[in-house]
Amino acid sequence: MPEIELTQGVIRYRDLGDGAPIVLIHGLLVGGSVWDRVVPLVAANGRCIVPELPLGSHTLPMRKDADLSPPGLAALIAELIERLELEDVTLVGNDTGGALCQLVAARHPERLGQLVLTNCDAFENFPPPAVGPMLTALKVPGMIAATAMLARLRPVRKAMFSAMPLTMEPIPDELVKSWVAPLASHRVRRDLARVVRGISPSHTLAAVELLRSFDHPTLIAWGERDRFFPQADAESLAATFPRARLELIPDARAFVQLDAPERLARLIASVADGAVTAPA
């Protein structure tokens, strides 16, 4: 993967295809590989950029003084877009990454052309209630290290994701293993601890008024079978943006990019072509 040095540290990213830029943003404790089923479909019609953000599954730790609060992470995404000299970007977010994309659209919209939000944190649900206890536990000293050690065991990984059904079918263990392996690094665990401490609905709620003036095509593409991110938030997001449309995707849960990659890729392509307009 190419690497780029940003204010907060060095990150890796994938850069595939040619044409209009589409940037895919992943969530907490997963890597850019969560988009693997979508990437070849998107890269067939545009330039697909997938950064490995410092959300716990990254392999390059950030600087010791890095700002890994949600606003700091949004600034990192905006800086990446600027440093790569991207214009008219279609920014796509999922899970925690969707909340970060909202902050980018609110505070750093200059290079954005379109926005796609899949199932993600929003409004007062940052984190959503079902995930709150886990994040609270991760704030306990030593808990991230203990979780990292246990997650080396395949039965533990299976139990963890069985208790958190993010997809319709089980996520392949090799993919899960690649997400938890970087936690062997104490510096990655340090980064994750900072991220977890910073998650708060104050950030997503503060962005709402600014998002009302984000006058660009916006698509809310939401898996209908999600048990974590409420559909009511999808409807509220669609009502917040002035040029938004809501698409519900059947037989898909929170990681809609794994459950329905073809459908999501078609929706992303339609937004990149400017086909999403305000409802009549």
- 144 vs 15: CA distance, rounded Å: 31
Q: Which residues share a beta bridge with 90?
A: 22, 114
Residue 280, pLDDT score: 38
Residue 279, pLDDT score: 40
Q: What is the CA radius of gyration of the chain?
A: 17
Residue 137, pLDDT score: 83
Place of tokens 């392996």: 181
Residue 276, pLDDT score: 56
- 63 vs 257: CA distance, rounded Å: 31
Dihedral sign for Cα 113, 118, 124, 127, please. negative
Three-state secondary-structure class, residue 29: coil
Query: Could you tell me if 212 and 108 are in contact, meaning their C-beta atoms sit under 8 angstroms apart?
Result: no
- 71 vs 7: CA distance, rounded Å: 14
- Residue 151 Cα distances to 33, 142, 186, 274, angstroms: 18, 14, 15, 42
List per-residue pLDDT tens for the chain, 280 residues long: 899 999 999 999 999 999 999 999 999 999 999 999 999 999 998 999 999 999 999 999 999 999 999 999 999 999 999 999 999 999 999 999 999 999 999 999 999 999 999 999 999 999 999 888 888 888 888 888 888 888 788 888 887 777 778 999 999 999 999 999 999 999 999 999 999 999 999 999 999 999 999 999 999 999 999 999 999 999 999 999 999 999 999 999 999 999 999 999 999 999 987 655 444 3
pTM assigned to the model: 0.95
Residue 224, pLDDT score: 97
Nearest in space to 116 (alpha carbons), one of 269, 240, 280, 253: 269
Residue 200, pLDDT score: 97
- 233 vs 144: CA distance, rounded Å: 29
Three-state secondary-structure class, residue 145: helix
Residue 126, pLDDT score: 97
Residue 274, pLDDT score: 65
Query: If residue 239 lies in a helix (H) or strand (E), which one and from where to where?
Result: helix 231-240
Residue 110, pLDDT score: 96
- 179 vs 44: CA distance, rounded Å: 26
Nearest in space to 268 (alpha carbons), one of 224, 221, 234, 223: 221
Residue 278, pLDDT score: 40
Nearest in space to 10 (alpha carbons), one of 45, 57, 54, 65: 54
Residue 275, pLDDT score: 59
